[in-house]
Chains A and B, each alone.
Chain A
Amino acid sequence: MTALTKLFLLAVEESGTVFSVPFLRFYVFVLAGFVGYQIITKVPALLHTPLMSATNAISGISLVGSLVAAGAHYSEVSTVLGFFAVTAATINVVGGFMITDRMLKMFKRQERK
């Protein structure tokens, strides 16, 4: 806990205000997590497998960070690491969304006569 307080004070010191940028990002994180939790409690157990592959595809958003690393020409090391990151994240994004769709397509209601 003291380490956290220290970190907070460090953030205040670095940005010169209590409403530091890292602190605002923390707000975003907490609120997004809260929204996620609220929505996901309403997802029926029936769809828990597609849910996991969907959130996994969405967390492939690290692709966005990889793109900059791979394309910014910072250094050869950065570019190579970035390239592998882009590849891994794209596998997740493309594979994740496709397989989620393939699964969801299978869930059908009983045909009523």
Chain B
Amino acid sequence: MLSSVLQLAQGMVAATEPAAAATSTGPELREFFIQVAYLAASVLFILGLRGLTAPDRARRGMQLAAIGMLVAVVGTLIDHRIVEFQWILLGLVVGSGVGAAISIWMPMTAVPQRTAISHAFGALAATLVGISHYHYLTHMLHQEIGGVEMAALGFEVMFGSLTITGSLMAFGKLQELLTSAPITYRFQNESNIGLFVVAVCLFVYLVFTPSDAASHAPVFYLMVLVGLAVGVLIVVPIGGADMPVVISLLNSYAGLASSATGFALGNNVLIIAGALDGASGFLLSILMSKAMNRSFSNVLFGAFGGAATTAATTTVAGLTVRSVSVEDAAAQLAYAREVIVVPGYGMAVAQAQHQVRELAELVEKRGGEVKFAIHPVAGRMPGHMNVLLAEANVPYDKLFDMDEINSEFTRADVALVIGANDVVNPAARNDPSSPIYGMPILNADQAKSVIVLKRSMNPGFAGIENELFYDPKCSLLFGDAKSSLTKLVGAVKTA
């Protein structure tokens, strides 16, 4: 392993001396080194991902993966086709600068946005490589592109282009540049499907038409444009709470675009890395859909409508909610033996994770036990709540998945719900007419008492009334989660 890296380094030296390069290292030998580097990189990527199966091995694993990336890049630089380095160098420097700046200064609450935009960057790279390759083959070499190669290129630019704009739309919604509510209009699904069919037809035409036909290049570029349009239109009708599924799907598409690039360029490391990413995104989107009890097609085509809302509100008409004072809530928490905290997107919006940790520490100091119940789709991306709580120094052995903790709610003295709504709505269990019926939820309603921190009585994202709030053992503490928690911390201290 080490010796192969050394040999690669020698190859690099040879590559920087143009005169020597032609004689001392032939293209075949270089190609061999490149393949060794790619194989090593592929193995390191797989080992790296394996590290993520345990939190204490994860960092080391990712360092292996980063080394793999370095090996792959260094290996590529000795490619005999690369004759000038100034643009490469400039791109590497600018990209590293921007990438590092984003990752150092970005607040942890912006992780979903950053992930969305990075899918756009990855897809952009794949698409540009595809267009550049196509341009080279048709306009420079005037070479016939085989059907198989064209299929790979077509997949690459189509997945790539729709991921670029789809991810930008997701970014816009998460950053609240666009409304996070679904944007719907008449015949939306019909027109989206129609456009998608057009893209597929263009793709099929390209594959089965000889590439020297006059119409070939215009159709290729038209397909890129249609791909870009499809990306915008399929994400626009998807609401904020469905973002975990969408982000995972875009993650998968970005990987598939990389894989297709590998097919087009005949490069195995691209195929492997892309397939790993594609599989990961695919699996995550399945998990997220399951956690919402919805199918892919339902997420993509079934923007939550208004009809269901009116049906659900009638069931709670006439009931009243009970609001609670900070002092009473603090007293409940201070004397609780077991508290289960249920964080939701509201905690992320208020950036209240540090206050949550402070409150949990106070309760523990008084002899209580505090656990965190994490619903798979709480927040805007898979694992969103875990990262925020880890940032606030909550030890990860206090964070529990839904399946691990659901049986414990009956023993809990207090369930503290912070800015979560649909994931604790008992209607998912009891009310077959509810749009979220069948979705697995956290059994917060089974705790001896429930305190809900909530900004106002506006229903949650899905626009569904939550009967939990009307439960006699449930009390609501209104206000911004951060300021409510700060007050609670103060009150528990003096309780």
* Interface positions of A (Cβ within 8 A of B): 3, 6-7, 10-11, 14, 21-22, 25, 28-30, 32-37, 39-75, 77-79, 81-111
Contact = CB atoms under 8 A, between A and B. Distances in A.
Contacts of A66: 91, 125, 128-129
Nearest to B96: A94
Contacts of B77: 67
Contact of B381 (A49, A54, A62, A79): A49
Interface string B41-57: 11001101110111110
B134 to A, nearest CB: 10
B9 interface: no
Q: Which of A59, A72, A77, A83 has the most CB of B within 10 A?
A: A59
Given A39-B53, A108-B395, A87 B82 contact: no
A47 B76 contact: no
A58 B65 contact: yes
Contact of B102 (A44, A75, A91, A108): A91
9 contacts: A6-B208, A32-B272, A46-B401, A53-B118, A54-B49, A58-B273, A86-B95, A91-B102, A104-B55
For the complex, would chain A's binding face be called helix, strand, loop or mixed by DSSP majority?
Answer: helix
B387 interface: yes
A25 B263 contact: yes
B393 interface: yes
Nearest to B395: A110
B357 to A, nearest CB: 12
Contacts of A85: 91, 124-126, 128-129, 132
Nearest to B252: A55
B289 to A, nearest CB: 14
Main secondary structure of the interface of B (DSSP, over half): helix
Contact of B207 (A7, A68, A70): A7
B386 A49 contact: yes
Interface stretch (B144-152, B215-223, B484-492): B144-152
A69 B69 CA distance: 18
Interface in B91-128: 91-92, 94-96, 98-100, 102-104, 106, 108, 111, 114-115, 118-119, 121-122, 124-126, 128
Interface string B66-99: 1001001100110101111101101110111011
Contact of A92 (B118, B279, B387): B118
Given A29-B275, A74-B136, A83-B91, A96 B118 contact: yes
A11 B396 contact: no
Contacts of B401: 44-46
A25 B259 CA distance: 10
Contacts, number: 392
Nearest to B385: A49
Contacts of A103: 108, 111, 387, 390
Given A46-B399, A84-B128, A90-B96, A71 B88 contact: yes
B273 A59 contact: yes
Contacts of A79: 87
Contacts of B397: 109-110
Contacts of A97: 62, 65-66, 69
Contacts of A34: 279
Nearest to A8: B148
B118 A35 contact: no
Nearest to B200: A3
Contact of B283 (A41, A72, A104): A41
B103 A71 contact: no
Contact of B390 (A75, A92, A106): A106
Given A48-B386, A85-B124, A89-B122, A14 B277 contact: no
A78 B49 contact: no
A69 B126 CA distance: 11
B281 A75 contact: no
Across the A-B interface, the 6 shortest Cβ-Cβ residue pairs: A90-B95, A86-B91, A95-B99, A48-B383, A36-B279, A94-B99
A111 B275 CA distance: 38
B267 interface: yes
Contact of B95 (A22, A29, A89, A107): A89
Nearest to B127: A85
Nearest to A24: B268
A77 B396 contact: no
Contact of A62 (B59, B270, B393): B270
Nearest to A75: B140
